[in-house]
Amino acid sequence: MDRIDAMRLFLRVADAGSFSRAANDLGIGQPTVSRRIQDLEHRLGAELFLRTTRSLSLTEAGERFRQRARLILSEFDAAEAEARGLDGEPIGVLRITAAHSLARRVVVPLATRFLAAHPHVEIDLIEDDRVIDLVEEGVDVAFRFGDLPDSSLMAKKLGETRRRLWAAPSYLEQHGPPATPSDLEGHTAVLFRHASHGRNWRLERDGETVEVDIAKVTRLKVSSGDSVVRAAVEGAGIALLPDWLVCEDADAGRLVEVLTGWQAEPTALHAVWTGGSKLRGKARLFVDFLADQLELAPPVPCSHQSLLVG
């Protein structure tokens, strides 16, 4: 097994966190994967993985080797593409991350179009509602809504989306619709537990701003945007939701807008990456592709393209 293939296998195992998962992905036996990794460790004279009966993790040497291996393979892929007459055409694996709901409704559909246009690229998508460490996970670019507290990251703003209040018709029939923002304190709220707004909903209309403490009326907190929508559809309470996330259920009548005209401050979508330089190669191409697609006129009423602006 040559060194390039060994590095590719090592990265596959490191990303999968399991010999068996990596073997399944590659269609080879687990003993073969284990033996090849052992051969690589012997060649390097260093242990790359900490192995237990229940887990597999990188050693300090393994983490350093992963970072170097990604750079080496990126340069090798570029050299191979140039030699094949594919200079300028992206090649290799692009590792990205996004929240589950954003991935399902926005990133995956556009990634499919991107792959069709660039047949030499593979995309490895991590769906996670937590803010993960991009270096530790070996991520090329992340897509995140809201504030970006980590000042060490580079970012490009792709657009903004409105956030409005929504509830199921069944909930409003039972409890009645609020007439003013202050009426929300007499209702029940569903909250996305990672939301940057915390315990307050700050609502605006025609220059007027009202801040509502919703912590005391929140009976359900969930960890994904899709779960907030589902809970609202089931009548669990009123939810503050971005247009791109709620549009399908709003179009179908499963959710209706509450306090029409009032909305929270728009939330920005950013592409985020590590390092102190501009995005390069396939990562830059994908981010530019996503930004261009989000600016297109919507083909149907409920399209994410129409819900991100700016």
CA–CA dist 137, 15 (Å, integer):
7
CA–CA dist 290, 296 (Å, integer):
10
Q: Confirm whether 274 is domain-assigned.
A: no
75 and 170 in a common domain: no
Domain final residue pick, 81, 114, 142? 81
Q: Confirm whether 205 is domain-assigned.
A: yes
- 10-42 pLDDT, tens digit each: 888 888 788 888 888 777 888 888 888 898 888
165 and 69 in a common domain: no
Eight-class DSSP state of 213: E
Query: Helix-strand-coil percent breakdown of the chain, rounded to 5?
Result: 45, 25, 30
User: What's the chain's average pLDDT?
Assistant: 82
Q: What is the mean pLDDT of residues 189-208?
A: 79
Q: How many domains does the chain have?
A: 2
Q: Confirm whether 1 is domain-assigned.
A: yes
Q: Confirm whether 308 is domain-assigned.
A: no
- 127-139 pLDDT, tens digit each: 887 777 777 677 8
Greatest pairwise CA separation for the chain in angstroms: 71
CA–CA dist 225, 242 (Å, integer):
9
Domain final residue pick, 55, 81, 107? 81
Q: How buried is residue 212: exposed, middle or buried, by Cβ count under 10 Å (0-12/13-18/19+)?
A: buried
Query: Which carries the bigger pLDDT value, residue 31 or residue 85?
Result: 31
Q: How buried is residue 154: exposed, middle or buried, by Cβ count under 10 Å (0-12/13-18/19+)?
A: middle
- Is residue 252 pLDDT above 80, yes or no? yes
Domain span including residue 262: 160-267
Report how far Cα 203 is from the mean position of its chain's Cα atoms: 26
Domain final residue pick, 232, 249, 267? 267
Q: pLDDT at position 87, please?
A: 52
Of 240, 236, 212, give the one whose Cα is nearest residue 225.
240
Do 165 and 259 form a contact (C-beta atoms < 8 A)? yes
Q: pLDDT at position 275, please?
A: 64
- 152-164 pLDDT, tens digit each: 678 888 888 888 9
Q: Confirm whether 117 is domain-assigned.
A: no
CA–CA dist 151, 67 (Å, integer):
21
Q: Confirm whether 154 is domain-assigned.
A: no
Q: Confirm whether 126 is domain-assigned.
A: no
CATH number at residue 257: 3.40.190.290
The H-or-E segment that residue 209 falls in is strand 208-213
CATH number at residue 40: 1.10.10.10
* Region label for 259, one of left (φ > 0), alpha (ψ between -120 and 50) or beta (otherwise): left
Q: What is the mean pLDDT of residues 189-207?
A: 78
Close Cβ partners of 212 (under 8 Å, ≥ 6 residues apart): 181, 182, 184, 185, 200, 201, 202, 203
Q: Confirm whether 19 is domain-assigned.
A: yes
Query: Which carries the bigger pLDDT value, residue 151 or residue 177?
Result: 177
